[in-house]
Chain A
Amino acid sequence: MIKLSRKTIAFIAAALVVTTFIIACSKSGGNTNTLDPSANGFDKTAMLTNYADNLIIPAYTNLQTQANLLETAVNTFLTTPNTANQVTLKNVFKDTYLRYQDVSVDQFGPAETALLSNFSNTFPADSVVIEGNITRGTYSLTSNASINQQGFPALDYLLFNLHAINDFTGATAVNRKKYVQDVVTNLKTRVATVLSAWKGSYRATFIGNTRSDSGSPIAFLINQFAFEMDQLKGPRIGWPFGKQSGGTMFPNNTEGFNAGISVALATQNLTALKTMFNGNGSGTGMSDYLVALKQQKLSTDVMAQFDKAINSLKTVPDPYVTAMSNNKTQIEAAYREIQILLTLIKTDVASATGVRITYQDTDGD
């Protein structure tokens, strides 16, 4: 038999007292503010408040404002479908799509409920089904099956494909105009729904939950960073370039293909991600949380890698289709940098913050 020394027993007894104390405290559900959080580490509430008030809500507000401008420009073009109006429209469309990239990482809470990302930006759009919808004049833009028949990718196809101007004066013009307007209205409605939820009760829910387990804002943010990086590496840059298909390219599958703005969108996506990661340099971002967790070097490395990846993306010119044959080296380099950043976020950052990268809930041990 193992004999225990008095010391060991005393140690265990002391440990028990502390544990009991801890349990008693955590069950009593007291006030979090009895200890000054900043003195004891990091103020997560301040971080989440910064995210909600200075980044997420303004990003949706800007998107909403820009979507109204888009609606006006779309209507002008639909009334008079000519090259000049199309050029003007393309600029407004690009600006709106760029503002969408700012909220692309925020797909949790109200955006997740409204399936904003699915309905606004599932690319490529299915032009065959869209044309069928227009010809028939009957369609639903609310069913889950319709996600690739609407949003920015559908507008990109309808407004900027090579025969777009002719189409709006051709046989299907009336139905086509209505379809475009329906898509714009639908997009605006979804953005409005999400924004009003944020301005309503969700802001408090978001700020009030400083947990890190699955379903919490912090876990959502880190998981979304990883998810967006996956999207960037795959559908936005890598897969159209033939990374998945032995070099066979799929230029039509890029985001914003018809408007020829794929790289600009990808760059903005990554830039917005960087802004989110460091909380727009406010001192209360995820990068600062890492510092509080004694991961200063990791925080610096991630920020540096963001810059590297953004800069290497910027060396690739739009339209991406042309770049795919003329700038292979630059694309390969950008792809590499994106992959390094993805690993840093998915592995090192997730590990350091104790957040599980999984879009699926289960038990663990």
Chain B
Amino acid sequence: MFLSAINRLQRPVSIAPLVTFRILFGLMMLAGTIRFWANGWITQQYVTPKFYFTYMGFEWVHPLGNTGMHFIFGVIALATICITAGLFYRVAVVVFFAAFTYVELIDVTNYLNHYYFISLISFLLIWLPANRYLSVDVRIWPKLKCTHVPLWTIGIIRLQIAIVYFFAGLAKLNPDWMLHALPMKIWLPAKSHLPLIGGLMYKEWIAYLFSWFGAFYDLFIAFFLINRKTRPMAYVFVLGFHISTAIFFPGIGMFPYVMIISSFAFFSSGYHQKLLAFFIGKNQLIPTSNYRYPAILRVLLPGVIGIYFLLQIIIPLRFLAYPGHLFWYEEGYRFSWRVMLMEKSGNTFFTVKEPSTGKTYEVDNSKYLTPLQDKMMSTQPDMILRYAHYLADIYTKRGIKSPAVYAECHVALNGERSRLYIDTTVNLAMQSLSWKHYKWVLPFTKNEK
């Protein structure tokens, strides 16, 4: 049983889906990079800020200044072109993965689930022979040409997408989303400008419909995409769902398009083969050769891939190890495919006190943070703590002896009235950043720890 499954995964199939995926992914990443640059976001997010919220363990990651950051994005753009064309593919995809991930690691403020997804996909692409057909590499080195690859090389992309959807669906199975249609109930009335259906946006049942449909879609779409019979219909759902999210929530940017294009990988090898044939004018791929991994990789890869997917399952579930309301504490919230899941806003005033003189200094956040950083920081405890530590440094440099940092933060979650978020009596300068439960975040409800 197990062995036959393994054998099935090794079965050679047409390389076509991998090639389509490579080309579409490359083109989309190129478009995304151009859009990011054209919007002036490189400067806004990676040059203007004076302070960056790094990830734990990645404190050594720093931006490279105006020229440096634009250069990096130039490199990313070049890599996407090479990926699309299949030119120096392996180098290009390694460079893309490294540069893209580096940029994402600079500042927690800019964390988006689909950026994380892009990092993961590009990591997987490093190990896949996506350049062995219809590529410049094959033109230069015809010996590289392969028409067939092991099934699992396409399978891991599908599995990755399935994991994203499934966990996104699981995340929606919470009382706020399912029983109270929150945050849809808050977000939809803001869409009443839409023609014809605008007036409906105030109706509660619409919010419930959106919530329930979203949850069911996320939970089951991957299964319907896997199944050959339901696949075409399921892809219609993919299109419908993501296009409507793009219409209703334009703020989510590239995300719908990333998913539409990625989900295309679920179509069979035969389908992709016909598609490629349509574009390059050949009827089919003449089976010339099967791609075979080098011996060392054949030994190593199963382990690497096994660990990778184990992590993909553990990481989104790590929130279970923490007490308290997940949306409130956000311990284990990121890297878990929680997309558009809550309406949370807050604002925070920091006060720096000099114990020896009793003098207090209220902090003007706009002096140190961009508006976006200020906004993101105000609802996320780890960012509040990092900023508090930064303030302690800044005020120490200004000559204040052992500054104590206090935060007065109010947060509103899912339409509830705002309430005090951080214990105002705790000196945040003395609290250390860790994976442990934050005791200085005030509980969401009274009976929580």
Contacts and interface: CB of A to CB of B under 8 A. Distances in A.
Interface stretch (A36-44, A55-63, A123-131): A36-44
B193 A363 contact: no
A25 B186 contact: no
Contact of B190 (A8, A297, A344, A354): A354
B340 A365 contact: yes
B326 to A, nearest CB: 16
Interface string A1-43: 1101000100110011011101101111111101111011110
A32 B209 contact: no
A22 B363 contact: no
B364 A234 contact: yes
B345 A351 contact: yes
A105 B354 CA distance: 36
B335 interface: no
Contacts of B359: 246-247
A210 B192 contact: yes
B200 interface: yes
B361 A348 contact: no
Interface in A325-365: 339, 342-344, 346-348, 350-365
Interface string B231-275: 000001100110110010011111100000000000000000000
Interface residues of B, number: 73
A355 B186 CA distance: 10
B415 to A, nearest CB: 6
B240 A348 contact: no
Contacts of B193: 32, 44, 209-212
Given A354-B187, A354-B189, A363-B252, A11 B216 contact: yes
B198 interface: yes
A2 B195 contact: no
Interface stretch (A158-166, A237-245, A277-285): A237-245
B251 A213 contact: yes
A359 B371 contact: yes
Given A36-B199, A346-B347, A358-B375, A351 B418 contact: yes
B368 interface: no
A87 interface: no
A362 B41 contact: yes
A298 interface: yes
B370 interface: yes
Given A15-B212, A361-B39, A28 B343 contact: no
Contacts of A209: 193
Nearest to A41: B202
A159 to B, nearest CB: 30
A236 to B, nearest CB: 13
B85 to A, nearest CB: 27
A12 B223 CA distance: 13
A305 B362 CA distance: 22
B349 interface: yes
A133 interface: no
A342 B197 contact: no
A197 interface: no
B411 interface: yes
A293 interface: yes
Interface string B359-382: 111111010001110010000000
Nearest to A343: B410
Contacts of A40: 192, 199-200, 202-203
Contacts of B194: 26
A304 interface: no
A344 B252 contact: no
Nearest to A27: B247
Contacts of A357: 345, 347, 375
A41 B199 contact: yes
A42 B45 CA distance: 37
A323 to B, nearest CB: 19
B417 interface: yes
A214 interface: yes
A151 B196 CA distance: 47
B372 A360 contact: yes
Nearest to A248: B359
B278 interface: no
B287 to A, nearest CB: 31
A32 B254 CA distance: 28
Nearest to A223: B371
Interface string B292-309: 000000000000000000
B216 A15 contact: yes
A204 interface: no
A356 B113 contact: no
A246 B192 contact: no
Contacts of A297: 417
B212 A363 contact: no
Given A358-B375, A362-B41, A365-B255, A244 B197 contact: no
Contacts of B346: 347
A218 B200 CA distance: 19
B213 interface: yes
Given A212-B190, A362-B372, A244 B113 contact: no
A343 B347 contact: yes
A351 B343 contact: yes
Interface in B313-372: 339-340, 343-347, 349, 354, 357, 359-364, 366, 370-372
Interface of B: 39, 41, 44-45, 110, 112-114, 183, 186-187, 189-203, 209, 212-213, 216-217, 220, 223, 236-237, 240-241, 243-244, 247, 250-255, 339-340, 343-347, 349, 354, 357, 359-364, 366, 370-372, 375, 410-412, 415, 417-418
7 contacts: A16-B236, A32-B193, A44-B192, A214-B251, A234-B364, A292-B202, A350-B345
Given A343-B347, A359-B371, 10 more contacts: A11-B216, A23-B244, A32-B193, A35-B200, A214-B251, A218-B190, A244-B362, A244-B363, A293-B186, A365-B113
